[in-house]
Structure 1
Amino acid sequence: MKQIEVHILQQSYLLSCPEGHESRLLEAVERVDTAMTRIRDAGKVRARERIAVLAALNLAFEVADREAAAPVAPAPAAAPALHQEPALTDGDEQRLRHLVHRLDEALGDDGRLL
């Protein structure tokens, strides 16, 4: 394991990373830092913990949207089966949107989730 020092929202973190995966980790750090910076710079949310939660939710929502838009190709017959998350159903999407709406209401003047 390799350790890499990164900065997210101007705070330093020492992260462990498997050898050869440094570039993927740095890309992930950049995404998180960008998402958190946007929320902070909007000026409505100041608490670092709240910014982190909002950024995580926004990024998770983006991933769910991408997964719903791009169906996963079936694995070749000879390949071992890997665990795959089931696709979102219409009911799942509706519950997710309802959750986002409830979070927006709870945040009030702190800012909207999306």
Structure 2
Amino acid sequence: MAEKPTTVEVKILDKDYLVACPDEARDQLLQAARHLDTKMREIRASGKVFGTERIAVMAALNITHDMLEKDTMSDSASSILNAMDEKLDTALGEGSGR
């Protein structure tokens, strides 16, 4: 029988979120939340991106990019990611800049 997930409270950019996760994954969830909070605060502090949603998207892209780089992604995957990053920079630059 599977264990019932634990509800863990995490704080990201001064907002509290309740997240269900297995008890054994609690520490990893808290570490991930701290990492995300740090990245989002860095982006917000840069003053180039406004709005929590845009900050979250940029943090997600930056974290994903870092993870893919560490996994020594293929050249084609790298070019696709770079092209997407440039398009997003352009799109966000029109409204708020990056």
Alignment TM-score, normalising by the size of structure 2: 0.87
* Residues in 2 aligned to 1:59 and 1:31: alpha-carbon distance in whole angstroms: 9
Larger Rg: 1
Secondary structure in 2 aligned to 1:46? Answer: coil
Stretches of 4+ aligned residues off by more than 3 angstroms: none
The alignment covers a number of residue pairs equal to: 93
Question: Per residue, is there more helix in 1 or in 2?
Answer: 2
Identity, in percent, stands at 40
Alignment TM-score, normalising by the size of structure 1: 0.75
Q: Deviations over 1:82-112 (max 9, x none)?
A: xxxxxx3222211211111111111216343
- Give RMSD over aligned pairs: 1.3
Q: Deviations over 1:54-106 (max 9, x none)?
A: 100100000000001xxxxxxxxxxxxxxxxxxx3222211211111111111
Match runs of 1:47-62 below 5 Å? 47-62=51-66
The answer for unaligned runs of 5 or more in structure 1 is 69-87
- Determine the structure 1 residue equivalent to 2:46: 42
The answer for unaligned runs of 5 or more in structure 2 is none
Secondary structure in 1 aligned to 2:29? Answer: helix
